[in-house]
């Protein structure tokens, strides 16, 4: 059996403006729970082994940390 090296970090890059909706508000930062909830929904839709949503998202809340962003934000008012 091949040995697998476990990594303790993951880097995500969003190449276009990205926001996530939470409790009726659009968030301009990739809050971990929102990012992984989106991926989990897709995984559970197509995987032969769905993951328990509540347990997974609780793990994300406890163990995944947003460390920063290299973003530029501008607000536009449309009339």
Q: Is residue 24 part of a domain?
A: yes
Whether residue 35 lies inside any domain: the answer is: yes
Give residue 1's pLDDT band: very low, low, confident or very high (50, 70, 90). low
The answer to whether residue 79 sits within a structural domain is no
Look at residues 70, 62, 76 and name the one whose alpha carbon lies nearest to residue 14.
70
Residues 6 or more apart in contact with residue 79 via CB below 8 angstroms: none
Per-residue pLDDT tens digits for 18-70: 778 878 888 877 788 888 998 999 999 999 999 999 999 999 999 988 877 77
In this structure, is residue 37 part of a structural domain? Answer: yes
Structural domain range at position 25: 20-63
Report pTM: 0.66
Q: Does 78 map to a domain?
A: no
Beta carbons of 20 and 26 less than 8 angstroms apart: yes
Angle between helix axes 32-46 and 53-63 (nearest 10 degrees) is 150
Report if residue 46 sits inside a domain: yes
d(CA 43, CA 37): 10
Specify the number of domains making up the chain.
1
């Amino acid at each position: 059996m091949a040995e697998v090296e476990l990594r303790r970090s993951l880097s995500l890059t969003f190449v276009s403006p990205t926001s996530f909706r939470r409790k009726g508000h659009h968030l301009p930062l990739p809050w971990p729970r929102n990012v992984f909830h989106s991926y989990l929904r897709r995984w559970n839709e197509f995987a032969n082994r769905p993951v328990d949503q509540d347990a997974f998202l609780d793990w994300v809340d406890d163990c995944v940390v947003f460390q920063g962003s290299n973003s530029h934000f501008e607000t536009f008012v449309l009339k």
